[in-house]
Structures are given as structure tokens and as C-alpha cells.
């Protein structure tokens, strides 16, 4: 009778060890030998009980571990401030763009607010100022556009500011008309800030990639 050999193979199967025979031979024997089949069931139950034994009690360290953690991970506060500043800049630029459009639209449609300029010149002025408003709104929606919009807006401001101051001093422009140009100055300053922050982020990413590849 070869039952001891088969029972060793059953034990090896339960422990995940080599059987010492083919699995088919073991299965055929269990079909034919009721005693070994019963022995295999008993061995499986004993193995399962041994493996499912209750774990020994351990102290609960949850409170101690959580108390030892920092309230904020390093860099999280700085990242939150960066996101908040970016959102504030975009909202401010959105407000300036809407205000600029509100000033430009009447001039474009009816020439209102264009002083004594001919109607076509008033329309050109309104269209130009409305295009500036569109630039502000575009950068507010997509900050990556700031670097491309800055040369156009910056050159406009650089030319308009001294001319406006000279006309204001000579009495050739009304004060309220000159004050309206502050929207352009504010919007251009916001676009320049957004462009500068975008450049800083790009430089940090490039520096980080260089450190990784070094």
C-alpha cells in the first residue's frame, strides 16, 4: 500500500512544495482511496485553522503616528499660495478686460466718448481699444498667451503714456479720457506679471529636468 507516499504528497501540496509525483497521479489516488481523501480533507482543515489563527494583540499607534506628522507637507503651502496668486491675477485681468470692453464698445458703435474725432476715426479707436480688451480676456483665459501679447501691449503703452501726459499738460485731452487709459496700464502690468510668472515656472522645470538627468 502506497498511501504514506500519497499523504506526503498531499502535505507537500498544502505547503506549496514539490509533490514528488505527478499531480494527476495524486488526484487519481484520491478518487480511488477514500481513506486518503478523508485524510486530505482533515489536513486541509487543520492547515486552514493554523493559518487563520488570531493575530496577537498590538498597541494602537494611530494617534501617535498622526500626531507626529507635520500639519502640511513641505511645499504644499507655497504651492497653494502660488495657485491663489495665479487665480487672483487672472480674475483681475478679467475685470480689466471687461471694463476696457465697456469703454470701447460705445465708441465703436456710435462714436460716443470719442470727443470731436471724425466718425471713422472714432470707429478705429473703438475697434483698437476693443482688441486690447480681447487681448486682456484671452490672457485671463489662457495665461500661456501672456508672453505673446506682451510686446503688442507693451509697445502700445510705451507710446501712449508720454503722448497722453503731453496732451493732458497742453489741455488737448480731457482728464476723464486720460484716466480711462489707466485700464490699459493696469491690464498691461497684469499681463507682464503673468508672463513673468510663466517664465519662472518654465525655468524651474528646465532646472529640475537638468538635475534629474545629471
Q: Write out pLDDT tens, residues 18-37.
A: 888 888 888 888 888 888 88
Rounded to whole angstroms, what are the CA distances from 161 to 105, 113, 157, 175? Answer: 22, 19, 6, 14
Cell triple for 132: 486690447
pLDDT at 193: 94
Tell me how far apart the alpha carbons of residues 157 and 37 are, in angstroms, rounded to a whole number: 94
Residue range 86-120, pLDDT digits in tens: 999 999 999 999 999 988 888 777 665 555 555 66
| pLDDT at residue 15 tops 60 | yes
Cell of 166: 503731453
Name the pTM for this structure: 0.57
Mean pLDDT value across residues 166-185: 80
Amino acid at each position: 500500500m502506497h498511501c504514506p507516499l500519497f499523504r506526503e504528497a498531499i502535505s507537500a501540496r498544502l505547503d506549496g512544495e514539490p509533490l514528488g509525483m505527478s499531480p494527476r497521479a495524486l488526484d487519481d489516488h484520491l478518487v480511488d482511496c477514500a481513506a486518503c481523501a478523508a485524510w486530505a480533507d482533515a489536513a486541509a482543515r487543520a492547515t486552514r485553522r493554523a493559518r487563520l489563527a488570531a493575530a496577537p494583540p498590538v498597541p494602537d499607534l494611530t494617534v501617535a503616528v498622526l500626531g507626529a506628522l507635520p500639519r502640511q507637507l513641505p511645499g504644499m503651502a507655497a504651492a497653494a499660495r502660488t495657485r491663489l496668486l495665479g487665480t487672483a491675477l487672472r480674475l483681475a485681468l478679467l475685470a480689466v478686460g471687461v471694463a476696457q470692453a465697456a469703454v470701447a464698445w460705445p465708441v465703436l458703435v456710435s462714436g460716443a466718448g470719442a470727443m470731436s474725432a471724425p466718425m471713422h476715426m472714432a470707429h478705429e479707436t473703438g475697434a483698437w481699444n476693443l482688441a486690447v480688451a480681447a487681448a486682456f480676456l484671452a490672457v485671463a483665459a489662457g495665461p500661456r498667451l501672456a508672453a505673446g501679447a506682451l510686446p503688442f501691449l507693451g509697445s502700445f503703452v510705451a507710446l501712449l503714456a508720454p503722448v497722453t501726459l503731453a496732451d493732458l499738460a497742453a489741455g488737448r485731452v480731457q482728464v476723464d479720457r486720460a484716466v480711462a487709459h489707466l485700464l490699459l496700464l493696469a491690464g498691461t502690468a497684469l499681463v507682464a506679471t503673468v508672463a513673468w510668472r510663466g517664465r519662472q515656472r518654465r525655468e524651474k522645470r528646465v532646472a529640475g529636468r537638468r538635475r534629474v538627468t545629471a
